[in-house]
Structure 1
Amino acid sequence: MTDVTWGIASTILAPTRDILQFAAYHLAAGAHRIYIYLDAPNPQAFEFLDAHPKIRVITCDDKYWKQRKRDRPDMHQVRQTANATHAYNRRAEVDWLIHMDADEFLVADRPVAEILAERPADPHATRIRPMEQLSGNPSAFKGFIPSGPDRARITADLYPTYGAHVKGGFLSHLAGKVFVRTGLPKINIRIHNVFQDGEMLDCHDPQDGIDLAHVHAKTWEDWIAAYRYRVTKGSYRSELGPNKPYEKGGLSMHDLFTQIEQDAGEAGLCAFFDEVCADSPALRKRLADHGLLHEAKLDLVSHLGQHFPDYTGV
């Protein structure tokens, strides 16, 4: 047992069930506090969240942003960082805080609090690297490939057609998310880093024993439904950089998807998805051969029933 406590800050725009499953999973994992900022009013989710003693929920409506003395930021990434920093600067209720999205789940080989209790006093932050779910198999994940000379070769082995253009084989971020000790002055939390007084905070990397399970593409239908937003405003937007310098043949995800659509339309996107995202015996074997196939049973329905037994929505 340890007295160390940890919590999560999350800005969420999602169906009620997804919000409650995210919260329930992390309550079961040992979170002492979960700070949820509803990016748009959701009275049903608010009622369930507000009733739980370990959850603090805020609806980010016009009144909220007026109280923050600012206009509502247009970009959701800016709203996320503003809210995560707001959660950090509250009266401290936990020893460690991490900003996460509703499709990310901490998977640890022992209690998260025990792992954090073993961190030395310095540095004040520790990075949790991601693993990305294989579409169609909620228990199978592709592992993170560390940066280095072997990453490009391994990625090309795993994804023969598109691996040269997909950094580390992940559709979404490789940076992971960061736990930071609370109580530090002049902290600003960003999506994948933490800054103190304008300087990036030193960060232990990676934190052994914890992975960030990212459910980025549950199914083809889910992925293509989110695709247009992601390619214009989200994780595939044009201002994000390429997988390697342009002069060395690199492409950003935005560039890659634009090229695929121009050449083959939605059928091309589907072929990309089948190679890079979809669960298949062939991909699982290639991942296993490289030690990159991970199993994690999230049991989201079970945790939902345990922590929100009165919720009966679908």
Structure 2
Amino acid sequence: MTNGPQIPVPQPVQTDPAKLRWGIVSTVKAPLRKIAEFIAFHLDLGAQRIRIHLDVPDPSIAERLAHPRLRFTQCDDAYWEGKPSRARTTHQRRQMFNAARTYRMSQLDWLIHIDVDEFILSPRPLADLLAKVELDASHIELQPVEMIEGSSDPHHFKRPASKTIRRTIYPVFGEHVPGGFIGTRSPKIAARAGLPNVRLGIHALHHAGQPVPGAALLPGVELGHAHAPDFETFERHLAYRLSKGSYHDRNGETNLRGHLLRALMDDPEPDALRAFHTELCVPTKERIALLKEYDLLRVEALNLDAKVERFFGSLED
């Protein structure tokens, strides 16, 4: 087991799936439609409470998506009044502050911290699986799978590949991109509520400033990440991700993907950046066959339009 603080889990814990309550906290900056898809998908999965922090305040979103199991927080100046100024400085710090604050207030059995472009892929109702987690497990890691380009069901998701396999599936860029993912390979966290003196972060549960080891896994559950579902989305978010986001050098460590992307942006070949996205994200028949051969492919029908219609009606009204 990894060295680190051991957190005793207060007993008893809920093991009856009919009574178990789980929820989601997320700090969001996205269009109405994307927020509605994220919420509707997880309400359909059984989330008892979803807390959305609107990083760009917009009361009309909260009004249009009102639902009994949904709570919105407008992260305006009034919200940040009296809170640590440092917590507001970057998107990552705002995420961590909002997640930690929600965790302290939570009356649920489990709280999950994920982003608006992530979807919990589960073969069964999530409460059924959470009810079977080891009684002394403080938290769960949700391992990411990355969405391959596609605007309709079924959606294809790829799992991370070893360097040897990457050379076969992605012969030009795979060797230079860890896992073959253009987004993060780090897990997201589901934490039992009520643990003393812990902080729910982005990729870890923390105690006394240290990650808590011993995370459990849920059989068959992965976190589908729509990091760049099409080239236009990838290109639109690139500047932010290079300067402040997932491609940014951090804590003195070189971000390999970021440096590669900067080189491609400076390449005299005008389609260099698109070639990168095409190789890593476009589901050609050959690439899908290779992913399937190496057991690196997950296929899921998300049914987002139907789920949005079920919970919120037509957003075009």
TM, length-normalised to structure 2? 0.89
Is 1:38 matched with 2:54? yes
Inter-partner Cα distance in structure 2 for 1:121 and 1:48: 39
| Selected match of 2:96 from 81, 94, 100 | 81
Measured on the aligned residues, the alpha-carbon RMSD in Å equals 1.9
Report the alpha carbon displacement of residue 137 of structure 1 after superposing the two structures with TM.
Answer: 5.0
The within-5 A match list for 1:127-166 is 127-136=141-150, 138=152, 139-145=154-160, 151-166=162-177
Q: Quote the residue 1:105 is aligned against.
A: 119
Is this contact kept in 2: 1:240–1:252, CA < 8 A? no
Q: Are 1:239 and 2:250 an aligned pair?
A: yes
- Give the counterpart letter for 1:157 in structure 2: T
TM-fit CA distance, 1:108? 0.3
What is the total number of aligned residue pairs between the two structures? 300
Residue 65 (structure 1) aligned with residue 80 (structure 2): yes
276 and 205 in structure 1: CA distance in 2 versus 1, 3 angstrom threshold = farther
Equivalent pair of 1:115/1:209 in contact (CA under 8 Å): no
Which has the larger displacement, 290-299 or 24-33?
A: 290-299
Contact 1:140–1:295, Cα closer than 8 Å, also in 2: yes
Counterpart code for 2:101? H
Instruction: Tell me the CA shift for residue 290 of structure 1.
Output: 0.7
Q: How does 1:269-284 map to 2 (within 5 A)?
A: 269-284=273-288
Does structure 2 retain, via aligned residues, the 8 Å contact 1:129–1:211?
A: yes
Deviation at 1:94, TM superposition (A): 1.1
Which residue pairs with 2:3 in the alignment? none
Alpha-carbon distance in structure 1 between the residues aligned to 2:270 and 2:249: 19
The 1-side partners of 2:130 and 2:215 are apart by 11
Q: Residue 94 of structure 1: which of 105, 108, 114 is its match?
A: 108
Instruction: Verify the 8 A CA contact 1:130 1:211 in the aligned structure 2.
Output: yes
Deviations 1:236-271 (A, max 9, x none): 1122787xxx8xxxx611111112222345511011
CA contact (8 A) 1:2 1:117 kept: no
Whether contact under 8 Å (1:107, 1:213) holds in the other structure is: yes
Match of 1:27 in 2: 43
* 1:154-206 alpha-carbon deviations (Å, 9 max, x no partner): 12221101111111111111112111000011121211111023221124354
Quote the offset at 1:111 in angstroms: 0.7
CA separation in 2, counterparts of 1:123 and 1:207?
12
* Matching of residue 3 in structure 1 with residue 5 in structure 2: no
Aligned to 2:133: 119
Task: State the match for 2:11 in structure 1.
Answer: none
Aligned with 2:234 (options 223, 237, 260): 223
Q: 2:64 aligns with which of 37, 48, 61?
A: 48
**Separation in 2, partners of 1:72, 1:135:** 34
Is the 1:109–1:209 contact (alpha carbons within 8 Å) kept by the matching residues of 2?
Answer: yes
Identical pairs, percent: 34
- The question of 1:190 aligning with 2:201 is answered yes
Deviation at 1:54, TM superposition (A): 0.6
Q: Aligned in 2, Cα 1:143/1:205: closer, same or farther, shift over 3 Å?
A: farther
CA distance in 2: counterparts of 1:227 and 1:236, whole angstroms: 8
Letter matched to residue 80 of structure 2: W
Write the distance in 1 (CA, Å) between the matches of 2:270 and 2:107: 47
Tell whether the 8 Å contact from 1:123 to 1:202 is kept in structure 2 after alignment.
Answer: no
Find out whether 1:201 has 2:215 as its counterpart.
no
Change (3 A) 1:192 1:82: same
How far residue 106 of structure 1 moved from its aligned partner, in angstroms, is 0.4
Q: Deviation at 1:279?
A: 1.8
Do the aligned partners of residues 266 and 96 (structure 1) sit closer, same or farther apart at CA in structure 2, a change above 3 Å counting?
Answer: farther
Could you list the runs of 4 or more consecutive aligned residues of structure 1 that deviate by over 6 angstroms after TM superposition?
Answer: none
Partner of 1:168: 179
Q: Is the 8 A contact 1:194 1:201 kept in 2?
A: yes
CA distance in 2, matches of 1:22, 1:137: 15
Residue ranges of structure 2 left out of the alignment (5+ in a row): 1-16
* One-letter amino acid matched to 2:272: G
TM-score between both structures, scaled by the size of structure 1: 0.90
| Contact 1:7 1:98 (C-alpha < 8 Å) held by counterparts | yes
Cα distance change on mapping 1:135 and 1:294 into 2, 3 Å = same
Looking at structure 2, the residues matched to 66 and 265 of structure 1 have their Cα atoms a distance apart, in angstroms, of 49
